[in-house]
Amino acid sequence: MKIKIGIYATFVVAMGISGLVIAQDANNDNKSETASSTILPKVPVAEVIQQEIVPSSEFTGYLASPKIVDLRPRVGGRINSIEIPEGKLVEKGDSLFHIDPRPFQIALLDAEGKLSQAEALAIQAQRNYQRLKGLVNKGAISRKDYDDALSILSANNAQVKSAKAAVESAKLNLSYTQIRSPIAGRVDRAFITEGNLVTGGDTNEATRLTTIVSIDPIYAYFDIDETTFHKLTSLQPSTIKNSATALPPVTIRLPNEKHTQYTGTLNFIGNQIERTTGTVKVRAVIANKDGKLIPGTFIRAQLPIGEKTPSILIDDQAIASNQGQNYVLVLDKNNKAEYRPVELGAMIGGLRVINHGLTAGEKIIIKGLIRPGMEVMPNPIPMHPSLAAEATQSTTNNKHLTVNEVEEKQ
């Protein structure tokens, strides 16, 4: 009996100790959970930028060269040498091909010899005419002899002119044996090698040697819709009608360059709307001194179509999408993420225009795995590094940027 009581007491004490341990563990778990719940995710947060910009529409187009030359020889012969820098830039007048000049040198010598002969005969005819002219007045010779001498002089003078023309033609053909670039631009590969015979002439049957395209300036072609066309013409009706130089600026961007853009001027608008597509062909001229823009490249073109309006600009990486709805996470006064659907506009200067959904002064979460309603620890950053200083100055001085000014800061 005493043994059973001792075992029971030992069991009770053991259970009490284990219960104490379990209670302590549960208490520690609650403390750990409370401590972990106070650690908030730190996310980059930026204040939206508001600037006055000119609204624009974006179109797909392509680059084209203003001048394209299929280089062909004016005279035929054997190619002696080729100096073409394939795929590189050439200046107007650079020597590219050499045709064997010897046949044309011989032709020039022959023409010069015939000219000397014609000049000698013309001098003799002139002297004979002068003698007979004095005698006819005295009646010493007949009038027919005088007329014959005048006719011979006229014929010899005509032969001299013909011989001079032959000499000039021979010189011109000789100069054609050295084929030079007629324009400045980028040259293609040589379509023929040294030693080959080429056919010359002023038709397309002449041998094609290479192709040269001008690159500075370069053209950007794109099609605008009918609505944009009417907006464009309504902005400047007089300048659209009378002066191509007063047309609005155009900004283009290459597909592989996100932040680099090039500014030019719209210098041509088509004279009719294509009925099948409802579009009008337009053209912009772009400076291309470094030759980076290549003819045939696809581009995205932005065309101003309205007056300056206050616009909201944000970093494009802050935008998320859910079932086709674009949205951003706005930071409320309690540092909680608030779901906000937005309507996107065009890209300007590396920032996205927000047409609806955001107002000036609001702060948005730039990136991070955050759900709506979560409380976060904000880490303030500028909306865009290159525009941070301008954004601060704009808040202080109320300065407004146009499309071009925003782009120049990129």
Give per-residue pLDDT as tens, 51-85. Answer: 888 777 889 999 999 999 999 999 999 999 999 99
The mean per-residue pLDDT over the stretch 203-227 comes to 92
For residue 274, the 8-state DSSP code is B
d(CA 146, CA 128): 9
- Name the pTM for this structure: 0.61
308-344 residue pLDDT tens: 788 889 998 899 988 889 999 999 989 999 999 999 8
124, two tokens: 């003799």
Cα pseudo-dihedral 75, 78, 83, 87, rounded to 10: 80
**Does residue 130 register a pLDDT over 90?**
no
Q: Which of 202, 200, 211 lies closest to 69, judged by CA?
A: 211
Rounded to 10 deg, the angle between the 143-175 and 102-138 helix axes is 160
Please check whether residue 63 is in contact with residue 293, taking contact to mean a CB–CB distance below 8 angstroms. Answer: yes
pLDDT at 2: 41
Q: Phi, psi at residue 168, to the nearest 5°? A: -65, -40
Q: 131 or 90: whose pLDDT is higher? A: 90
Q: Which of 13-17, 33-37, 140-144, 245-249 has the highest mean pLDDT?
A: 140-144
Q: CA of 394: how far to CAs of 116, 330, 352, 381, 391, in Å? A: 82, 22, 18, 17, 5
Q: Is the dihedral of CA 248, 254, 260, 262 positive or negative?
A: negative
152-173 residue pLDDT tens: 999 999 999 999 999 999 999 9
pLDDT at 95: 93
Q: Is the peptide bond before 217 cis (omega within 30 degrees of 0)?
A: yes
pLDDT at 236: 53
Which residues, 6 or more positions from 257, have their beta carbon under 8 angstroms from its beta carbon? none
- Dihedral-angle region of residue 207 (phi above 0 means left; psi in -120 to 50 means alpha; beta otherwise): beta
3-class DSSP state of 223: strand
